[in-house]
Structure 1
């Protein structure tokens, strides 16, 4: 399909038709590095990333996930961090660099999928915006479980778009299995894909081939799931694997603060855009590729409804598949007038404003403190080491990446992520001696009795809704601790006795 005069002509590359995958990947890596590079030096961008780093470090130290430390995600998310730490040591730079490469490769395969239904120009800009949307607007500059699962899933979709042989479906199944074992909600789009392949077989009288391909795809998924279970089976810990990966997430999604109703406005908006595109024939629903994208989007939306909320980083899973039809739609708009082009170009350059601000931040930190690395998750541990405070018994209620910087572990397996303590619905699946969050918190404060507690200035230790937790720990800190130092927004408390 040759490029047509469209809004995308505003940005002129001379050789769209000469672009090969190597050139596209190179350009995407350059864009991703420019946007994400200043965040390589941040202590953390999202608290979940800090948790994944600690889980990866625990695995490197010889402990399977969920045994020494516990978190809600499946093990392949932690495997990414464990591999990076094993190869490069404690390196924020390496973790974020390879995350950047992962984002660029995800965008490359999004480009490949788009090429099936649109021109190279449209595909290229869809890929560029895929990088932008996976890297900006919130806490997306770190490496999230959504980045990892989307990486595997997009490659799997690319294979089923271009390939029809059973061997490729087996490989796609392995990739889908990796996606599910990175973030469990990806089982929903895999399920809707399976339903689509069956219906396609009925509609086109190719049912036997569809069943065969679906069978091998299912084999790939189950094989990957089984591989993650094998180490636990060999250690006679299979029940830990099952409870942590399958039962705990179901309990979490059924928590009192999660409701499918909260996701409905977002779901209706996305589905409304798709229906409008099909109704006005902006998107050709008759094509197999458009149908595949639709069932994937529906599957992801169903997973959001089951989870009962739509956090900003959840949208990483959706962006590649929603950007493709949006790119096709924009490609059919009339060519922009020349007078509007400077405005559009200016808006494009303003999109990475978060990155520009972070470049200023790291330069400022270098001038003031002599290091590009910044944030209380780094500054607080540095203060503790400089003043020779006891690091052996420490409790981070905030900035818990500090455990990694100090080479310490959280006081209990559940307290790796501070919010885990308050999730009462999870405790039945944690293989934990305590049965409730308050019991766990009392055990930490009254039995383990941390010598140092780190909190954040201007923020309650736990969610504002959790009045009983905040009342207890505030009173306990007031009676048994003194505020030793304030480092940035980090509060360092030392035990009195």
Structure 2
């Protein structure tokens, strides 16, 4: 371990260690049906693209197209492989952490930068539903790579490259437009008030050109199909409508925003973080931009924080480096704590071994077991409706019954219907269309959970009554409930 913590760390050694740590922590989750439901939706959207349908044309979800491109490329090359999707996700986490290390060495020692990168892997992989591949993993990778260029390079061609990467980040998760805009304002200010104004403005122009080239490239396939309207509405208009939804409020973001602002402010006040450094200012501007995006959206899920981790871990590492060295008598305790950090992974290793013994398969979860039961008992799969475990569509090679049903919760987000080109105007009307017109022979729900959010009484009352009258419970597989239509 001494060579890992010494000053002579090179990027190849760091990358090797980061890949090993990322794969070790995330490996047992390679076999899970899903960790977060959003990942299942991304897989469905990627598969639809592989099948020849551009995003938003056959299925629909509230993310820009680069998110789905990641999944489409892997499915195209490796087929339907949970393992491949999660493996390359682990590599991406390692690469994001490598760029975090490369940025951090501009602020502090290689030793501190290395541990910053290790904790970047931890925070992108643990403490919640982060073991799958989320859109935040993808957009953060592109953004950290772009910031690495902005920290280390100064000529126009590299600023153009950073613009391309920033465009990819925004076309993966639209809220990253806020930190991109803040960066643009910072470089504009620097261009007018710092030395070499002409060069700085030129670099900003090249960065902006790269950014808009990426945006334009995502529109080209839709232009060739004559579908630019659905591209514009789905990517840019729908997220604004979503942020104004009934369950979103800026006040709900204050605990996260306030805590991070307090930590950064304390670091500056105590002079543990050097505010006068240009690179520190860049990091701070990025963090501010991301926090503003959270407030604007009125919502902060655990996986949203992936976007912040690299940019707050670096100044945190700078601050910790200025504290007195850890005494030898405490180092063993810290080593034990580090070993215990990935406790979620250890538990999941036990789960996949148990599943292998009981079911002769490492792959586990109702999203896999329920489709296996359906196929084994020759149940009808055409127009099947998964109100839960919707990764089952992928396993069964089926598609959701309607566009809003791509992600089951989208059925209730009627503010998004106009951007889906959906014929129904309300969520209840959409649900009635699925149940009474499409009439799925098989429906899958989850035991002990309402089909829709418990606040949505009208939705739950309707479907509970409809299931009781027109369906019978065929089987319970784990927590999965399999219903069959009576007539």
Please indicate the TM-score interval, normalised by the length of the shorter structure: over 0.9
Q: Is the 8 A contact 1:122 1:327 kept in 2?
A: yes
1:163 pairs with one of 138, 150, 153? 153
SS of the residue 2:7 aligns to: helix
In structure 1, distance between residues paired with 2:443 and 2:295: 37
Give 5+ residue unaligned stretches, structure 2. Answer: none
Aligned partner of 2:188 in structure 1 is 198
C-alpha separation in 2, matches of 1:349 and 1:333: 23
Q: After TM superposition, give the deviation of residue 17 of structure 1 in Å.
A: 2.0
| Deviating more after overlay: 214-223 vs 198-207 | 198-207
SS at the partner of 1:491? Answer: strand
- Choose 208-217 or 416-425, whichever is displaced more: 208-217
User: CA separation in 2, counterparts of 1:265 and 1:198?
Assistant: 31
Report the Cα distance in structure 1 between the residues aligned to 2:326 and 2:160, rounded to whole angstroms: 45
Relative to structure 1, the CA distance from residue 458 to residue 164 in structure 2 (aligned partners, 3 Å threshold; closer, same or farther) is same
Q: Please list the CA deviations of residues 322-379 of structure 1 after superposition, one character each: whole Å capped at 9, or x if unmatched.
A: 0001111111111222222222111111110000000000000000000000000000
- The question of whether the paired residues in 1 share the 8 Å contact of 2:89 and 2:132 is answered with yes
Of 375, 378, 396, 1:406 maps to 396
Q: Distance in 1 between matches of 2:98 and 2:443?
A: 45
Q: Does 1:58 align with 2:13?
A: no
Question: Do residues 221 (structure 1) and 206 (structure 2) align?
Answer: no
Q: Cα deviation per residue 1:430-456 (whole Å; 9 max; x = unaligned)?
A: 111111111110000000000000000
Whether the aligned pair in 1 keeps the contact of 2:26 and 2:131 (CA below 8 Å) is yes
> What do residues 92-112 of structure 1 show as CA deviations (whole Å, max 9, x unaligned)?
000000001000000000000
Correspondence 1:50-89 to 2 at 5 A: 50-89=40-79
Tell me, yes or no, if structure 1 residue 379 matches structure 2 residue 369.
yes
Counterpart residue number, 2:438? 448
Structure 1 residue 210 displacement after superposition: 2.0
Contact 1:198 1:207 in 2 (8 A): no
> Distance in 2 between the 1:335 and 1:158 partners?
28
The change in CA–CA distance for 1:205 and 1:14 in structure 2 (over 3 A counts) is closer
Match for 1:128 among 93, 110, 118? 118
Alignment of 1:458-477 (within 5 A): 458-477=448-467
1:66-85 Cα offsets, whole Å, 9 max, x none, are 00000000000000000000
* CA apart distance, 1:157: 0.2
Q: Report the counterpart of residue 118 of structure 1 in structure 2.
A: 108
Alignment of 1:324-335 (within 5 A): 324-335=314-325
Q: Is the 8 A contact 1:44 1:50 kept in 2?
A: yes
Give the secondary structure class of the aligned counterpart of 2:125: coil
Matched residue, 1:7 = none
CA offsets 1:12-51 (integer angstroms, 9 cap, x no match) = 4466222111110000000001000000000000000000
Partner of 1:292: 282
2:235 corresponds to which of 241, 245, 256: 245
> What is the TM-score when the length of structure 2 is the normalising length?
0.99
1:150 to 116, 130, 140: 140
| Aligned positions of 1:338-353 closer than 5 A | 338-353=328-343
Deviations, residues 216-264 of structure 1 (Å, cap 9, x unaligned): 1111111101100000011010100011001100000011111111112
Structure 1 residue runs without a partner (length 5+): 1-10
Task: Work out whether 1:364 is the aligned partner of 2:354.
Answer: yes
Helix, strand or coil for the counterpart of 1:429? helix
Q: Please name the residue that 2:420 is paired with.
A: 430
> Which residue in 2 is equivalent to 1:478?
468
List structure 1 segments (4+ residues) > 6 angstroms apart after TM superposition: none
Task: Work out which structure has the larger RCO, using CA pairs closer than 8 Å and 6 or more positions apart in sequence.
Answer: 1
Structure 2 CA distance, aligned partners of 1:439 and 1:208? 58
Residue of structure 2 in register with 1:4 after alignment: none
Structure-2 residue corresponding to 1:6: none
**Pairing 1:257–2:247 present:** yes
1:36 to 16, 20, 26: 26
* 1:273-298: CA deviation from partner (whole Å, max 9, x where unpaired): 11111111101111111000000000
Given that 2:5 and 2:114 are in contact with CA atoms closer than 8 Å, whether structure 1 keeps it comes out as no
Alignment partner of 2:33: what SS? Answer: coil
Distance of 2:263 and 2:366 partners within structure 1? 42
**1:138, CA displacement in angstroms?**
0.5
Determine the C-alpha separation between the residues in 2 that align with 1:341 and 1:118: 21
Structure 2 residue matching 1:17: 3-state secondary structure = coil
State the superposition RMSD in angstroms.
0.9
C-alpha separation in 2, matches of 1:345 and 1:26: 20
Q: CA deviation at 1:272?
A: 1.2
Aligned mates of 1:164, 1:268 — CA distance in 2: 34
